[in-house]
Chains A and B, each alone.
Chain A
Amino acid sequence: MIAHKNQTLVRARINGEEVAFFCEPRQTLLEVLRDTLGLTGVKEGCGNGNCGACNVIMDGVLVNSCLVLAVEAEGRSITTVEGLAGPDGLHPLQQSFLEHAALQCGVCTPGFLVAAKALLDHNPHPTEHEVRYWLAGNLCRCTGYDKIVRAVLDAAEKMTA
Chain B
Amino acid sequence: MPEYQYIGKPARRVDALEKVLGTAKYIADRKLPGMLHARCLRSEVPHARIVKLDVTPALAVPGVRGVITSEDFFEHGLYGFPVKDKYMLAYQKVRYVGEAIAAVAADTPEAALAGVQAIICELEPLPGVFDMEHALDADAPQVGPDRPDGEHPNFLDKLIVRKGDPLAVWEQSPIKLEERYTVGPQEHAYIEPEGVLAVPTPEGGVVVYAPNQSPFINHGNLALVLNLPHNLVRVIQPPVGGSFGGKDDIIYESSAQVARLALITGKPVRMVFSREESLIVSYKRDAMRMHIWLAADPDGTLRACKFDGLLDSGAYASESSFTAWRASIHAMGAYRYDACHVDITAVYTNNGYCGAFRGFGNTEVCMAIEQAIDEMAYKVGMDPIDFRLKNCLRLGDETVHGQRLTESVGLAECLMAVRRLSDWDRKRAEYTRRDVACNVSTTNDIRRGIGVAALYHGTSLGAEGQDYANATIAIEQDNSIDITSGLTDYGTGSRTVFTLIAAEELGVRPERIHMQRPDTDTAIESGPTVASRSTMLGGNAMRIAAMNLRQTLDYAAADLLGCELHQLIRHGEAYVGPAEEPVPWERVVAHAREMGLALSAHGKWTAPRINWDHHAGRGTPYMAYHFAAQVAEVEVDMGTGNVQVIGFWAAHDLGKMIFPQGAYGQLYGGIAQGLGYALMEQITFVNGYIQETNFESYLIPTAVDVPEIVGTFIEAPFSHGPYGAKNIAEPAMVPTAPAILNAIYHATGRRVRDLPANLERVLLGHDLAKGGSPRACKLGLHIA
- Check if B559 is an interface residue, CB within 8 A of chain A: no
CB-CB contacts of A116-127 with B at 8 A, as 1s and 0s?
Answer: 000000000000
Contacts of B16 in A (CB 8 A): 97-98, 101, 103, 106
* Residue of A81, A107, A132 touching B191 (CB-CB under 8 A): A107
Proximity bits, A30-59, B CB within 8 Å = 1, else 0: 000011000111111111101101000000
Q: Is the CB of B703 within 8 A of A51?
A: no
For the complex, is B662 an interface residue (Cβ under 8 Å from A)? Answer: yes
The CA-CA distance from A144 to B661 in the complex, in Å, is: 13
The answer to whether the Cβ of B29 comes within 8 Å of any Cβ in the partner chain is yes
Other-chain contact of B241, A101, A107, A131, A133 (Cβ < 8 Å): A107
Q: Which residue of B lies closest to A2 (CB)?
A: B62
A-B contact count (CB 8 A): 179
- The minimal Cβ–Cβ distance linking B664 to chain A, given in whole angstroms, is 7
CB distance B21 to A41 under 8 Å? yes
Contact between A47 and B190, CB atoms less than 8 A apart? no
Taking the complex as formed, is A61 at the interface, i.e. its CB lies under 8 A from any CB of chain B? no
Is there an interface contact between A105 and B190, defined as CB atoms closer than 8 Å?
A: yes
B275 near A47: Cβ-Cβ < 8 Å: yes
Among candidates B29, B241, B670, B784, residue contacting A47 with C-beta atoms closer than 8 Å: B784
A101 and B665 in contact, given A106-B241, A141-B242 (Cβ under 8 angstroms): yes
Could you tell me if A105 and B242 are in contact, using CB atoms closer than 8 angstroms?
A: yes
* CB atoms of B191 and A45 under 8 A apart: yes
A65 in the interface, Cβ–Cβ < 8 Å? no
- CB distance B13 to A101 under 8 Å? yes
Contact B696–A48 (Cβ < 8 Å):
yes
Say whether A101 contacts B703, CB under 8 Å.
no
Q: Are B668 and A44 in contact (CB under 8 A)?
A: no
Chain B residues closer than 8 Å to A35, beta-carbon distance: 31
- Chain B minimum-CB-distance residue to A143: B669
CA distance A136 to B190 in the complex (A): 17
Residues 22-37 of chain B, each 1 if its beta carbon lies under 8 Å from chain A, else 0: 1111101101000000
A104-B665 CB under 8 A given contacts A81-B22, A109-B19, A110-B22? yes
Task: Please report the C-alpha to C-alpha distance between residue A30 and residue B24 in the assembled complex, in whole angstroms.
Answer: 17
> CA A127 – CA B535 in complex, angstroms?
37
Q: Given contacts A101-B13, A105-B239, A139-B191, is CB(A90)–CB(B28) below 8 Å?
A: no
Asked if B134 is at the interface of the complex by the 8 Å CB criterion, the answer is: no
- Would you call A141 and B190 a contact (CB within 8 A)? yes
User: 0/1 per residue, B659-701, Cβ < 8 Å to A?
Assistant: 0011011111111110000000000000000000011100011
Contact yes or no, B22 A41, CB < 8 A: yes
In the docked arrangement, what's the CA distance between A110 and B25, Å?
A: 12
Contact with B along A45-87 (1 / 0, CB 8 A): 1111011010000000000000000000000000011101100
- A148 at the B interface (CB under 8 A): yes
Contact present for B700 and A139 (CB under 8 Å): yes
Q: CB of A19 within 8 A of chain B?
A: no
User: Does B450 interact with chain A (Cβ within 8 Å)?
Assistant: no
Count of chain A residues near B, Cβ 8 A: 56
Across the interface, which residues of A come within 8 angstroms of B241, CB to CB?
43, 105-107
Contact B709 A106 (CB under 8 A): no
CB neighbours (8 Å) of A40 from chain B are 22, 25, 28-29
Q: How far is the CA of A21 from the CA of B664 in the complex (A)?
A: 44
Given contacts A46-B695, A51-B191, A141-B244, whether A133 and B704 have CB atoms under 8 Å apart is: yes
Please encode chain B, from 204 to 248, with 1 for each CB lying within 8 Å of some chain A CB and 0 for all others.
Answer: 000000000000000000000000000000000001111110000
Task: Give min CB distance, A147 to chain B, whole Å.
Answer: 7
Interface of B is mostly: loop
Q: Which chain A residue shows the least CB distance to B62? A: A2
Residue from A80, A105, A135 in contact with B703 in the complex, judged by beta carbons closer than 8 Å: A135
Q: How far is the CA of A53 from the CA of B53 in the complex (A)?
A: 38
A135 vs B29: C-alpha distance in the bound complex, in angstroms?
Answer: 24
Inter-chain contact B17/A98, CB cutoff 8 Å: yes
Q: Chain B residues with Cβ under 8 A from A29's Cβ?
A: none
Most buried by A among B25, B492, B706: B706
Q: Roughly how many angstroms separate A144 CA and B696 CA in the complex, as a whole number? A: 19
State the Cβ distance, A43 to closest chain B Cβ, in Å. 7
Interface string of A132-158 (1 = CB under 8 A from B): 110111111111111111000000000
**Complex Cα spacing A107 to B23, Å:** 11
Check B275 against A142 for contact (C-beta < 8 Å). no
By beta carbon, the residue of chain B nearest A135 is B703
User: Could you tell me if A139 and B702 are in contact, using CB atoms closer than 8 angstroms?
Assistant: yes
Cα–Cα, bound, A51→B696 (Å): 9
Q: What distance in Å separates the Cβ of A14 from its nearest Cβ neighbour in chain B? A: 13
Q: Which residue of B lies closest to A49 (CB)?
A: B696
Cβ-defined partner of A147 (8 Å) among B191, B668, B702: B668
Give complex CA distance A84, B192 in Å.
22
Closest to B696 in A: A50
Chain A residues whose C-beta falls within 8 Å of the C-beta of B15 in the assembled complex: 106
B12 at the interface (CB under 8 A from A): yes
Other-chain contact of A142, B12, B22, B242 (Cβ < 8 Å): B242
Chain A, Cβ-Cβ closest to B675: A144
Q: Least Cβ distance of B229 to chain A in Å?
A: 33
Given the known interface contacts A41-B22, A101-B662, A105-B490, the answer about A145 and B706 at a Cβ–Cβ threshold of 8 Å is yes
B493 beta carbon closer than 8 Å to chain A? yes
Report yes or no: B703 in contact with A148, Cβ–Cβ below 8 A. yes
Chain A neighbourhood of B190, CB < 8 A? 105, 107, 141
- Residue in A80, A98, A133 whose Cβ sees the most chain B Cβ within 10 Å: A98
Q: Which residue of A lies closest to B732 (CB)?
A: A144
User: Is A113 engaged at the interface, CB distance under 8 Å to the other chain?
Assistant: yes
Residues of A close to B193: CB separation below 8 A: 44-45
Interface residues of A in 2-42 (CB under 8 A from B): 3, 34-35, 39-42
Q: How many Å from the CB of B238 to the closest CB on chain A?
A: 11
For A109, the chain B residues whose CB sits under 8 A away are 19-20, 22
| CB pair B20 A144 closer than 8 Å | no
Complex Cα distance, B188 from A161, in Å, reads 40
**Residue with the greatest number of chain B CB neighbours at <10 A, chosen from A34, A43, A99:** A43
Name B665's contact: one of A42, A51, A107, A142 (CB within 8 Å): A142
In the bound complex, what is the Cα–Cα distance between A105 and B213 (angstroms)?
13
- In whole Å, how far is B156's beta carbon from the nearest beta carbon of chain A? 28
Q: How far is the CB of B764 from chain A (nearest CB, A)?
A: 27
Closest to B666 in A: A104
Q: What are some 21 contacts across the A-B interface (CB < 8 A)? A: A46-B694, A47-B275, A50-B696, A98-B12, A101-B662, A105-B191, A105-B241, A106-B19, A106-B20, A107-B26, A107-B190, A107-B191, A107-B242, A131-B703, A132-B704, A136-B703, A141-B242, A142-B491, A143-B665, A143-B672, A144-B667
Closest 10 CB pairs of A and B: A41-B22, A105-B491, A144-B668, A107-B241, A106-B19, A50-B695, A40-B29, A81-B22, A144-B672, A101-B661
